[in-house]
């Protein structure tokens, strides 16, 4: 019988603590596979809030966790790209499997870390990094593994979607942001949400997975929703449009185009109907046609759900003693990623046609005449 598979967690914040609680009650239940949480590395033993987690599991040394040979699988929930990158790299280097929710890390260093994981014959999984509980990475990697993806468009930042929705109803930007912070959706540095960087990390990850291309966040053009005017949102709304922060990518004969930008979307479009912190993504694959995933894109339980799914997958692959080979581990270098949106506010129609939103006002005034 397979010995219990050892797990360690780096970080015990909102997400790390939630994952630890699940592991301690025996989840994920993967038939016949035992697992044991051996340690949780935290920055300070005195300041950590660890409801329901035995203090004996907490250690204040990531080095000790990385050196613990009982641990086969390391879950990284620290965030950031400096220490997290060093620890993930060392974990992979020493032959541990890694599950992470760290979009900044994978967005900016995914291709390099995948190459390392492939060399060491271990898994690197990050379903939680994009779209919270939405199984978008697995949909691309597994379900659509035999079907080339032509394009996708998504709303991938719950904080921005909630702010835009609240302002459309007459709320203020600052109040809506404060609500998102209280709900635990916003980043510790909320400018990453507001200015589009968070969405750009997620777009980079999806371009890596969907197109097998070595796209990293600094190569992408992105804009956010700072300075958006509530009056204008209400005017668009009266005409049947809602502003959404879109992450868009497509692959064609000319290469790859990808960008994050705010755009106007018809209210009855699947992305136009998203409320609050919901995320949604439409994928166009050659044979499957259009697929749509929608759900909770942020927060403790949604993120834990995705991490637990990845842990289950890794447990299965360890027991099967085969390296998962359904992931893209060799990325194609890319010379150029073209941008998509004009500099002015665009309208998102199905497909990739955009037209300046100023035409909306012109069209409305001529039809009103």
| Catalytic machinery residues | 202
Smaller CB separation from ligand HSE, 192 or 259: 192
Q: How far is the CB of 262 from ligand HSE (least distance, A)?
A: 15
**CB–CB of 71/7 below 8 Å?**
yes
**CB–CB of 132/299 below 8 Å?**
yes
Backbone dihedral angles phi then psi of residue 38, each to the nearest 5 degrees: -95, -35
H or E segment to which residue 309 belongs: helix 300-320
- CA geometry: angle 49, 51, 56, nearest 5 deg: 85
Contact status: 107 vs ligand HSE (CB under 6 A) = no
What character string, x for contact with ligand HSE (CB under 6 A) and - otherwise, covers 149-188? --------xxx-------------------------xxx-
Q: How far is the CB of 114 from ligand HSE (least distance, A)?
A: 20
Instruction: State which of positions 285-344 bind ligand HSE (CB under 6 A).
Output: 297-298
Q: How many CA atoms lie within 13 A of 350 on its CB side?
A: 8
Contact status: 100 vs ligand HSE (CB under 6 A) = no
Smaller CB separation from ligand HSE, 134 or 327: 134
Residue-wise burial string across 258-267, b where 16 or more C-beta atoms lie within 10 A, e elsewhere: bbbbbbbbbe
Count of residues engaged in binding ligand HSE, rule: CB under 6 A: 11
What character string, x for contact with ligand HSE (CB under 6 A) and - otherwise, covers 111-150? ---------------------x------------------
From the number of C-beta atoms within 10 Å of its C-beta (0-12, 13-18, 19+), residue 321 rates as exposed
* Closest to 260 in 3D by CA, of 339, 162, 187: 339
Smaller CB separation from ligand HSE, 159 or 354: 159
H or E segment to which residue 200 belongs: helix 197-211
Instruction: State which of positions 198-217 bind ligand HSE (CB under 6 A).
Output: 198
Contact status: 194 vs ligand HSE (CB under 6 A) = no
Task: Give contact residues for ligand HSE (rule: CB under 6 A).
Answer: 132, 157-159, 185-187, 193, 198, 297-298
């Amino acid at each position: 019988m397979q010995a219990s598979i050892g797990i360690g967690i780096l970080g015990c914040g909102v997400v790390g603590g939630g994952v630890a609680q699940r592991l301690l009650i025996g989840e994920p239940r993967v038939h016949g596979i035992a697992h044991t949480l051996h340690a949780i590395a935290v920055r300070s033993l005195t300041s950590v809030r660890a409801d329901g987690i035995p203090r004996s599991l907490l250690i204040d040394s990531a080095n000790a966790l990385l050196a613990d040979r009982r641990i086969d699988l390391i879950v990284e929930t620290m965030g950031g790209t400096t220490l997290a990158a060093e620890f993930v790299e060392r974990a992979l280097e020493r032959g541990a499997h890694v599950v992470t929710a760290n979009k900044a890390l994978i967005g900016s260093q995914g291709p390099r870390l995948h190459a390392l994981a492939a060399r060491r014959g271990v898994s690197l999984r990050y379903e939680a990094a994009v779209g919270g509980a939405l199984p978008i990475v697995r949909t691309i990697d597994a379900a659509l593994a035999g079907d080339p993806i032509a394009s996708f468009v998504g709303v991938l930042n719950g904080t921005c979607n909630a702010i835009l929705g609240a302002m459309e109803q007459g709320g203020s930007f600052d109040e809506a942001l404060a609500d998102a912070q209280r709900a635990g959706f916003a980043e510790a540095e909320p400018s990453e949400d507001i200015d589009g960087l968070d969405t750009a990390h997620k777009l980079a990850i999806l371009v890596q997975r969907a197109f097998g291309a070595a796209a990293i966040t600094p190569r992408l053009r992105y804009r956010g929703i700072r300075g958006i005017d509530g009056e204008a949102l209400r005017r668009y709304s009266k005409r049947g449009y809602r502003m959404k922060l879109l992450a868009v990518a497509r692959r064609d004969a000319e290469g790859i185009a990808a960008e994050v930008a705010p755009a106007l979307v018809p209210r009855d479009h699947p992305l136009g109907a998203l409320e609050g912190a919901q995320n949604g993504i439409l994928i166009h694959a050659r044979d499957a046609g259009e697929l749509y995933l929608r759900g909770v894109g942020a927060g403790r339980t949604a993120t834990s759900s995705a991490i637990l799914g990845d842990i289950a997958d890794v447990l299965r692959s360890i027991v099967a003693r085969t390296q998962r080979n359904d992931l893209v581990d060799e990325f194609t270098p890319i010379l150029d990623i073209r941008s998509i949106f004009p500099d002015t506010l665009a309208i998102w129609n199905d497909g990739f046609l955009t037209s300046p939103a100023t035409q909306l006002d012109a069209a409305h005034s001529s039809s009103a005449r």
